Structure 1
Amino acid sequence: MNLSTQTTFIKTLSRELGFDYCGIARAQRLDDDARKLEQWLTKGYQGKMGYMENHFDMRVDPTLLVPGAKSVVTLLLNYYPEEQQAEGAPKIAKYAYGTDYHLVIREKMNEFLYRIREKIGQVEGRGFVDSAPVLERSWAVRSGLGWVGKNGNLIHKQTGSFFFIATLIIDLELEYDDPFAKDYCGSCTRCLDACPTGAIVDPTLIDGSRCISYLTIELKDELIAPEFRDKMEGWMFGCDICQDVCPWNRFARPHQQDAFAPIPLLLNLGTAEWEAMDEQFFRTLLKNSPMKRSKWKGIQRNIRFLENPGKI
């Protein structure tokens, strides 16, 4: 197979596996991103996410993850839901309504690599979705899939930002897409203006330690700092504020993935039900949910903080 045929096969296969968009970039060290990442870490914007400091070289050089890597294939999978939570319920980020995306996408990526080898021959590669030190958004931009908005999210011009990003690094040479060269945010500042905790320090510069998603998921402290009192706006797990206010998400359309259908009961549970939930029921209800990341103890902490900010 020549480069064109191989590339067409890869992109056709991505659609067969349910991905919405596929872009391909040449595997190379990301020197500019390395400098930006180093500055971000120096400012302490990772908060207590110590893992962000690990494997720095791997984050910026795909050949350290896959020796001999030639191509980085970036895949977008829509998760925008048709359903909404009951009014007044503790808020859950839309990506967490259904089955854990790690489980869903990992299966797709395994199938992707298997099908490539079946058609093309022995190809070495690895698929990633939040599972290794990969700068997914940078590769998405280099693959022509969109630009990084002021809220730090990848924005696709046709359908917004409610996407999971998966990355396949392979030692197969392909035809490469042109990088996405333009920023279409313009003078809009809706996400900066709407963020209640001031986590968007400057356009595309996010203080992760102030993000509501960090505070409700990544932060494992028993207390959420009192400075965030009355700034959580009802969010119990994650936060969608900066995406909900983004004008580009008026183009978002409901996903077609059965696995992302809301877990029964999840959208209708109120504060009282979450407070009364014991750990065993939590584990049963959310056994395949990304909400497991916060654990029962974390969800209980978050609920208490919403009800009585600054105290446990």
Structure 2
Amino acid sequence: MDSLAKQIKNAALNMGYEKCGIIKISDMTGYEEKLNERIQRIPEIKPYYEGFYRFVHLQDTYPWAKSIVICVRQYGKYNIPEHLEGLIAKYYLVDSRRDENSEDFQDSLKFEAYMQELGLKTATERKFGITALRWAALKAGLGIVRKNNFFYTESGSWAYLEAWLIDKELEAIEIPKIKECPEKCNLCIKSCPTSSLSEPYTMNRSSCVSCLTTWEGWDLPHEKFNKEMGSWVFGCDVCQDVCPMNKGTWNAEEEFPRLSELSKQISLEKILQMDYTFLENVMQPKFWYIEKHNVWKWKTNAINAMVNDYKEQYREYIFHACNDSNVKVREMAEWAIKKLNL
């Protein structure tokens, strides 16, 4: 391994990353074939996936880029408020990508600054990644992708990936020592609430509960999978929770900044009572997949969850939502009343 590559890798590990690898830009070429295969399997996802082709031709945008530094950081170290399990996916509760109060976010800034101090030009995108993160991590040998499409290290799938382009050709490749999924195991596929995960390594974005609660599901009364969405209001953990390879990998030892305080203000009932100032100024910056002008979606998702697991205590909140200032929320509440025969 080149001494500069070793310096970068050691710095990443010292800053809390579980793993760090470096690949050449040319290693992204094979991603195009995989992208074509997925679109051929599920043609309806083509509009969503076409934008990913830019990852194959990174040098069109960054002609100076020669390598990709890819890092893995575990988030399965944080305490998750018990009452939010099954309501909001764990990843989003401890998402540090834009949270400046998070030590993980600050370490990311420090790591990039360190590479720049070494004389490297860098570029990154902290929200969704500057390249195809799982493919880059796979090519760097940092772990494997399992049947549920998630990237796994020895510590399970409770990890997020970060990548930087750099202007020097370096390489730091590992050989993963992780067992593949058992051939006959299909727990993740069987457990997927909407069958979005229909076969190994294949997922239909338009029916995934995580997408339905964030980027899709704008008309829940007429949504085909509103019942299958269960109690989820933001994201979904089902296929990771049932995975045998995740058993015992969540070691809650740390508190994520401000999560405990915020969690006290979140429940299905409290979501329906939230005013739009709170939704826009507190909830949206934390759970930023739902944009500020669409924060009403929290309330429609909450009503849907109430319908799917109805308790008499929800009645007054649903009726109160009939007077909400947003028409979508009012329509959802009226639909729920009819659906439940209240």
TM-score bin, normalised by smaller chain: 0.7 to 0.9
- Aligned partner of 2:111 in structure 1 is 112
Query: Contact between 1:20 and 1:78, CA under 8 Å: does it hold in 2?
Result: yes
Q: Deviations over 1:178-231 (max 9, x none)?
A: 464976112221111111100112111111111100000111623364421421
1:147 to 118, 136, 144: 144
**1:136 correspondence with 2:133:** yes
> What CA distance in whole angstroms lies between the structure 2 residues aligned with 1:281 and 1:51?
31
Q: Shift of the alpha carbon at 1:147? A: 0.9
Unaligned runs of 5+ in 1: none
Deviation string 1:142-201 (CA, Å, 9 cap, x unpaired) is 111111111110011x20001111111112222330464976112221111111100112
Alignment partner for residue 80 of structure 2, among 84, 89, 96? 84
Q: Residues of 2 paired with 1:62 and 1:179: CA distance?
A: 25
Counterpart check, 1:290 vs 2:287? yes
RMSD over aligned CA atoms reads 2.9
1:96 match:
92
Q: How far apart are residue 291 of structure 1 and its match? A: 4.6
* TM-score normalized by the length of structure 1: 0.84
Report the equivalent of 2:19: 21
Conserved 8 A contact 1:19-1:77: yes
Q: Do 2:6 and 2:172's aligned partners in 1 also have CA atoms closer than 8 Å?
A: no
Q: Greater relative contact order (Cα 8 A, min sep 6): structure 1 or 2? A: 1
1:16 shift after superposition: 3.0
The equivalent residue for 2:227 is 230
Structure 2: unaligned runs, 5 residues or longer: 309-331, 337-342
Could you tell me which residue of structure 2 aligns to residue 163 of structure 1?
Answer: 159
What is the TM-score when the length of structure 2 is the normalising length? 0.78
How far, CA to CA, are the matches of 1:145 and 1:224 in structure 2?
43
Q: In structure 1, what is the equivalent of residue 196 of structure 2?
A: 199
Aligned position for 1:63: 59
**Cα separation, partners in 2 of 1:77 and 1:271, compared to 1, 3 Å:** same
> Aligned residue for 1:301?
300
SS state at 1:167 partner? strand
1:10 alignment partner AA: I
2:33 equivalent among 35, 52, 67: 35
* Structure (1 or 2) with the greater strand fraction: 1
Percent of counterpart pairs with the same letter?
23
Classify the secondary structure of the residue corresponding to 2:295. helix
Q: Which has the larger radius of gyration?
A: 2
Equivalent pair of 1:194/1:245 in contact (CA under 8 Å): yes
Cα distance change, pair 220–231 in 1 and its aligned pair in 2 (3 A): closer
